[in-house]
Amino acid sequence: MGIAVNNVTKTFGAFKALDRVSINVAAGSLCALLGPSGSGKTTLLRILAGLELPDSGTVVAHDDDVTNRSVRERNMGFVFQHYALFRHMTVFDNVAFPLRIRGWSSAKMQERVSELLHLVRLDNLEKRYPAQLSGGQRQRVALARALAASPAVLLLDEPFGALDAKVRLELRQWLRRFHKEIGVTTILVTHDQEEAFEVADQVVVMRQGTVEQAGTPQQIFDHPASAFVMEFLGHVNIFHGRLEDGGRINLGNETPDAQTPVAPPLYVRPHELDLERIGGAGSLAARIVHINPVSSLVRVQLTAVELGVPILVEVTRERFEELALRVGETLYVSPRKARTFLPDYSI
């Protein structure tokens, strides 16, 4: 058993940051806490580290109730969003800090620090100060420092939040392999769903202080538990059509009248829509507004002719060339797949 958070509640004044949150993270796995700002993910991470105390609930790490332990006793590595490197110490002294206060001999310390700096690919920067490093390098020093005392758990708060896009992508893949290698139970906080899905074994989607859904990236992407998760995980088209008998989907052309109850909206991902030259039953006529052919998928933006709502469709390059799409043309949009969710009780 790795880490378990049971029924944790935390309030700041009148604001409920966490409301009876429970999560389980398997030992040795990498779990991402994903959510928009204000969803409570960072608060949960700080409670795990002992930097905040929960109002109620327990934190169990490796079968050991640590709820009332001090930060120091928990021995969890924590990497802060802005690294929190000791600015007056060299890279070496930063990484050696947890060893020095544990009274290691200087020979052992030297050996361990070299090993760690090699692990994070910063072999020749021992004598530099944090101010002389780039953002990505600082991030890795912080990681090495957090790992120095062999923590049982590694906690990362928005680890790539302050880096530029290219470094971010690179470090993401690197972290994935790095985690495989060190095998320490790791929990990271992020608001970037791509990041969470790329690095994590398990993703916990949070919203307004509660867990919205937890599972593997595949489970969550394929079977979102709510409209919130669906919308949070990437672009989604929302139609006010309806599912007809026999599973056929009717998009739009549906004038709601007083007799028929309003159907819940249909959620369709851009890649689940198809474009055709000839309209079939239930398809929707739309005019192409913009074509973005930069990636392997071609993104086509359209506007529904009758309803005026914007639609985003992703088609493969082959399909794009087959149809020879041009801006201004009118085509027919039909879904291969659509989802509905029961309306939120709050609406």
Partner 1 sequence: MASDLPPLSADPSPAREQANAKPQAAEGSTTLRQGQQDPAWVRWTLIGLAVIVLIVLVVVPVVNVFVEALGDGVGAYWENIAGNEETLHAIGLTLLVAPISVILNTGFGIVAAWLVARFQFPGRTILVTLIDLPFSVSPVVVGLLFVLLFGMQGYFGPWLRDHGIRIIFATPSIIMVTTFVTFPFVARELIPVFEEIGPDEELAALTLGATPWQMFWHVTLPNIRWGLLYGVILCNARAMGEFGAVYVVSGRIAGQTDTMPLLVERLFQEYNTPGAFAVASLLTLLALVTLIVKAYLERKIDAEK
Does 172 help bind partner 1 (rule: CB under 8 A)? no
- Residue 14 sits in the site that holds partner 1 (CB under 8 A): no
Kindly state whether residue 154 participates in binding partner 1, applying the rule CB under 8 A: no
- Residue among 19 and 93 whose Cβ is closer to partner 1: 93
Does 71 help bind partner 1 (rule: CB under 8 A)? yes
For residue 50, the minimal CB distance to partner 1 (Å) is: 8
- Per the CB < 8 A criterion, the answer to whether 155 and 48 are in contact is yes
By CB under 8 A, name the one of 4, 29, 97, 221 that touches partner 1. 97
User: What angle is formed at CA 46 by the lines to CA 45 and CA 49, rounded to 5 degrees?
Assistant: 90
- Dihedral-angle region of residue 86 (phi above 0 means left; psi in -120 to 50 means alpha; beta otherwise): beta
> Of 33, 41, 40, nearest to 12 (Cα)?
40
Compute, in degrees rounded to 10, the torsion defined by CA atoms 104, 110, 116, 120: 150
State how far the Cα of 267 lies from the Cα of 68, in Å rounded to an integer.
Answer: 44
**How far is Cα 120 from Cα 203, in angstroms, rounded to an integer?**
25
Is there binding between residue 102 and partner 1 (CB under 8 A)? Answer: yes
Which is nearer to partner 1, 73 or 244 (by Cβ)?
Answer: 73
Our finding on whether 124 is near partner 1 (CB under 8 A) is no
Task: Identify whether the C-beta of residue 6 lies closer than 8 Å to the C-beta of residue 25.
Answer: no
For partner 1, give the closer residue by CB, 98 or 159: 98
What are φ and ψ of residue 306, in 5° steps? Answer: -85, -45
Binding segment (CB under 8 A) for partner 1, from list 167-175, 249-257, 270-278, 328-336:
167-175
Across the strands, what pairs with 156? 79, 188
**Could you tell me which stretch among 81-89, 226-234, 287-295, 310-318 binds partner 1 (CB under 8 A)?**
81-89
CB of 197 to partner 1, least distance (A): 21
Considering only the stretches 142-150, 206-214, 217-225, 321-329, report the one whose residues sit in contact with partner 1 under the rule CB under 8 A: 142-150
CA distance 67 to 84: 24
Could you give the dihedral angle defined by the CA atoms of residues 127, 86, 78 and 176, in that order, rounded to the nearest 10 degrees?
-30
Does 84 bind partner 1 (CB under 8 A)? Our answer is yes
User: Among 92, 178, 197, 228, which residue interacts with partner 1 (rule: CB under 8 A)?
Assistant: 178
Question: Is residue 184 a contact residue for partner 1 (CB under 8 A)?
Answer: no
- By CB under 8 A, name the binding residues for partner 1: 49-51, 70-72, 75-78, 80, 82, 84-89, 97-98, 101-102, 115, 118-119, 121, 134-137, 145-146, 148-149, 164, 167, 170-171, 173-174, 177-178, 181
